[in-house]
Amino acid sequence: MPFLIATDINKSYHVGSQRLHVLRGLDLAVERGEMVAVVGASGVGKSTLLHLLGGLDRTDSGSIRVGDADLAGMADEALTTFRNKHVGFVFQFHHLLPEFTALENAEMPLRIARVGTAEARSRATAVLQRLGLGDRLTHRPAMLSGGEQQRVAVARALVTEPSILLADEPTGDLDEQTAEALHALLREMHRERHLSSVIATHNLHLAASCDRVMRLEGGRLTAA
């Protein structure tokens, strides 16, 4: 049984007086430990799909199951708890809090989850060190390179030890060399933590390094 199963997903939005149908009967199954790339043109719905899979938004219809959890059947509070415990998000733009250090940014999900200060700091430090940022713990985002900022964002996504990693154009704002280094790091962390990962990307090189590539077009996924 796949770990993540999305079945007959439909999602639309109101745009002025019109209704824009983004996803139409979409199906996706991701095995535990599998890394799936989702490619497609800008605006086709890749971000929408990730938001639905991670519980940031709700479908119009269809079901999403992660393990034994039925996201569609969850109340808002339960969905928030599920998302915070089980899902790690990495976005194109790091969204780090500028007034906080790398360590403070990375430990934020644990502090929100009311993990004790000492444990949160220890876990965040360990992840940052694993990502090669052990000498940047006290640096604020403005003192970090673009690649370092994105690695802090990856640390923030992984610090809760999620079972799912969702990455939305994670290297889209980086130069080619830095992007390749981050690609390799994401693959390493995926394998080490036995994650189920869905990576939305324009980067065909990153996509090709995943276990499977799916194309989102016309609101549905097909094998690329």
Question: Domain-by-domain residue ranges, the chain?
Answer: 32-61+76-223
Kindly list the strands in the beta sheet with 196-200, ordered across the sheet, starting from the edge strand earlier in the chain: 87-91, 164-168, 196-200, 35-39, 212-217, 220-223
For residue 196, the surrounding DSSP H or E stretch is: strand 196-200
What confidence score (pLDDT) does residue 29 get? 96
Which CATH code is given to the segment(s) 32-61+76-223?
Answer: 3.40.50.300
- Report the sign of the C-alpha dihedral through residues 131, 93, 170, 91, in that order: positive
3-state secondary structure at position 178: helix
Q: Is the pLDDT of residue 223 over 90?
A: yes
Region 94-105: what's the mean pLDDT?
A: 93
Region 44-68: what's the mean pLDDT?
A: 92
Q: Is the pLDDT of residue 93 over 80?
A: no
How do residues 151-194 score in pLDDT, each as one tens digit? 899 999 999 999 999 999 887 777 888 888 888 888 888 998 89
Taking the C-alpha atoms of residue 57 and residue 151, their distance in angstroms, rounded to an integer, is 25
Q: Is the pLDDT of residue 95 over 90?
A: no
Helix axes 146-158, 176-193, angle to 10 degrees: 20
What confidence score (pLDDT) does residue 17 get? 82
DSSP 54-123: TTSS--SEEEEEETTEEGGG--HHHHHHHHHHHEEEEESS----TTS-HHHHHHHHHHHTT--HHHHHHH
Share of the chain above pLDDT 90, in %: 62
The pTM (predicted TM-score) of the whole model is 0.89
What confidence score (pLDDT) does residue 105 get? 95
